[in-house]
Chains A and B, each alone.
Chain A
Amino acid sequence: MNVTNLVRSGPRIVEFLDRMYPPDLAWSDDETRPFAPPLRLAAGVVAVTLQISLLGTALGVAVALLLGFLGAENLTPHWVHHPIKIVLALLRSIPVILLALLFVAAVGLGAFPGVLAIAIHSIGMLGKLFAEECESVSGGLWEAMDSSGANWLQKVRYAIWPQVAPQINSLTLFRLEMNIRDSAVLGLVGVAGLGLWIENYRRAFDYASVSTMVIVTMLVVLAVDQASFLIQRHLK
């Protein structure tokens, strides 16, 4: 890395941007193209990306809830929450793209490895945050429920859940937002969706189509951003 390199790459960047512009907005397919035009594919590809992130988040949240409650220091004995905390930390320590790479190798190409990667990553992230939410609930309330003879599940349901539910909702929504962004990238390692098509067009040197797909990705993320903002406001 040196300055001359940087200066020399200037014109190349300009040339590259020139090849990306204008984005390919063609609708009709023709024989000369290696792939169908991006606008034709966009709807289906976006749908796959959304499916991966929704399903992955749903699976992740379900397991994260369980591990969150079991991993909270104030709800379970040391020998339960301690190992769970360690497992959650391990899950978090693997970058999602690496998880996807491993799952592609394990279960093959397509949407499924993406779902698994997103789910595993979400468990690690959300499990820790959920446990921390539970830990912030006053111990007195837990004891008061215990005093009425409630069992563990009842205590979780009535002492903990009402106090943490709003935060769990917004953490989940935030995670979904990030998962949609993440799942767009997973295409680079062979998971179906937006990223895969960006990669396909790039390999075919079809940069105009790449820029169309990048714009589509941006629009999707912005739309999700906005939707999540509206849902958050509605929940409050």
Chain B
Amino acid sequence: MKKTLTMINIEYLEVSYGRKAPALSIDQLQIGRGEHVAVIGPSGAGKTTLLRSIKGYVRPSQGKIEVAGVNLWTARRREQRQISRRLGLIYQQFHLAPRLTVLQNVLCGTLGATSRWRSLLGCFSAEDLRIAWSAIREVGLQEQVHQRADTLSGGEQQRVAVARALAQQPSVIIADEPVSSLDPAWTEDVLKLIATVQSRHDVTLVMSLHQPHLARRFAERVLALRNGRLVFDGPPSALSDDRLEELYRGNNVISLDRAPNTTRSAEATPA
């Protein structure tokens, strides 16, 4: 599948925190519309910084990032808002409102598009409800729709977060280590869900992962960062064990040879 349109365009980007060496320094990076990209690298390599600069939460110290042809830091406020709300975020810690129900949490995804005063009173339009319901169906949480978010398991909470991102009707989904706080079975489940959602809606997915073997299995394209620099950009098949070894050298945290044993398969997991 060849991607023609560029969704995310990064040129000579540099992000520094304070006077230290730049946390991120990327000369050229283009991500096409509908691509499924995994970002890997040891801790502190700049994965989160890259993801947050795409969302516009981290200000580049040099260079530029364009999303759908718009530079979020120079665009007019209105245009910037319009682009930004199409960039859905998924976090390691889910960040759901624990005391709200699944439906309410998902409806929060529509806030950017909805009428302000009505939403403050808790009134959502039929259209918002339709969007939220279809997102909930997609992640398979119809049964739990009126349950409070804090009564759900970690994997289910991440499914709610995926639905919330979907309710934004995103053109890009940015997932920052979405499975790092899940057990292996749920990891499998959530990654499959994200992949399904990605291909069905043809959204661009940029996802950082702590475990390289997952990136190899799920992504179409892998970016590897080390010390804030892009050291690998290519299909998972080109990511040999030697390359990984090199990438993680000195960070003997991750076992590269094989995936951890999954105790149950994702199919057997109750949705």
Q: Please give me the residue from chain B that is nearest to A163 by CB atom.
A: B99
* Interfacial chain A residues near B99, Cβ < 8 Å: 162-163, 165
Would you call A149 and B95 a contact (CB within 8 A)? no
A226 within 8 A of B: no
Would you call B95 and A144 a contact (CB within 8 A)? yes
Would you call A163 and B98 a contact (CB within 8 A)? yes
B84 within 8 A of A: yes
B93 within 8 A of A: yes
* Interfacial chain A residues near B96, Cβ < 8 Å: 141, 144
Q: How distant is the Cα of A114 from the Cα of B119 in the complex, in angstroms?
A: 37
Would you call A154 and B100 a contact (CB within 8 A)? no
Contact (A162, B85) CB under 8 Å given A143-B57, A145-B108, A148-B112: no
Contact (A158, B100) CB under 8 Å given A141-B95, A147-B88, A148-B85: yes
Would you call B113 and A149 a contact (CB within 8 A)? yes
Would you call B95 and A154 a contact (CB within 8 A)? no
Would you call A158 and B57 a contact (CB within 8 A)? no
Would you call B108 and A148 a contact (CB within 8 A)? yes
Cβ contacts A70-93/B at 8 Å (1 or 0 each): 000000000000000000000000
Would you call B89 and A154 a contact (CB within 8 A)? no
Q: Please give me the residue from chain A that is nearest to B57 by CB atom.
A: A143
A159 within 8 A of B: yes
* Interfacial chain A residues near B112, Cβ < 8 Å: 148-150
Contact (A140, B91) CB under 8 Å given A148-B85, A148-B168: yes
The number of residues on chain A lying at the interface, defined by a beta carbon within 8 Å of a beta carbon of chain B, is 19
* Interfacial chain B residues near A138, Cβ < 8 Å: 93, 95
A153 within 8 A of B: yes
Would you call B120 and A157 a contact (CB within 8 A)? yes
Contact (A147, B116) CB under 8 Å given A162-B99, A163-B99: no
B187 within 8 A of A: no
* Interfacial chain B residues near A144, Cβ < 8 Å: 89, 91, 95-96, 108, 161, 164
* Interfacial chain B residues near A157, Cβ < 8 Å: 119-120
B109 within 8 A of A: yes
Q: Is the interface of A mostly helix, strand, loop or mixed?
A: helix
A151 within 8 A of B: yes
Among residues 82 to 111 in chain B, which have CB atoms less than 8 Å away from a CB atom of chain A?
Answer: 84-85, 87-89, 91, 93, 95-100, 104, 108-111
Q: How distant is the Cα of A138 from the Cα of B88 in the complex, in angstroms?
A: 19
- Rounded to whole Å, the gap between the CB of B67 and the closest CB of chain A is 13
Would you call B95 and A148 a contact (CB within 8 A)? no
Q: How distant is the Cα of A163 from the Cα of B98 in the complex, in angstroms?
A: 8
What number of residue pairs across chains A and B have CB atoms under 8 A from each other? Answer: 70
B81 within 8 A of A: yes
Contact (A147, B89) CB under 8 Å given A153-B116, A154-B111, A158-B111: yes
Among residues 125 to 163 in chain A, which have CB atoms less than 8 Å away from a CB atom of chain B?
Answer: 138, 140-141, 143-145, 147-151, 153-154, 157-159, 162-163
Among residues 103 to 155 in chain B, which have CB atoms less than 8 Å away from a CB atom of chain A?
Answer: 104, 108-113, 116, 119-120
B226 within 8 A of A: no
Contact (A147, B119) CB under 8 Å given A140-B93, A141-B97: no
Q: Please give me the residue from chain B that is nearest to A145 by CB atom.
A: B108
Would you call B108 and A149 a contact (CB within 8 A)? no
In the complex, 30 of the A-B residue pairs with CB atoms within 8 angstroms, ordered by the A residue number, are A138-B93, A140-B91, A141-B95, A141-B96, A141-B97, A143-B89, A143-B95, A144-B161, A145-B108, A147-B55, A147-B85, A147-B89, A148-B85, A148-B88, A148-B109, A148-B110, A148-B164, A148-B168, A149-B111, A150-B111, A151-B111, A151-B116, A154-B116, A154-B119, A158-B97, A158-B104, A162-B97, A162-B100, A163-B97, A163-B98
Given contacts A148-B85, A149-B112, A153-B116, 17 further A-B contacts (CB under 8 A): A138-B93, A140-B93, A141-B96, A144-B95, A144-B96, A145-B111, A147-B55, A148-B111, A149-B84, A149-B111, A154-B120, A157-B120, A158-B100, A158-B104, A158-B108, A158-B111, A163-B97
Top 9 nearest A-B pairs (CB, nearest first) are A149-B112, A149-B85, A150-B111, A140-B95, A144-B95, A147-B89, A162-B99, A154-B111, A148-B109
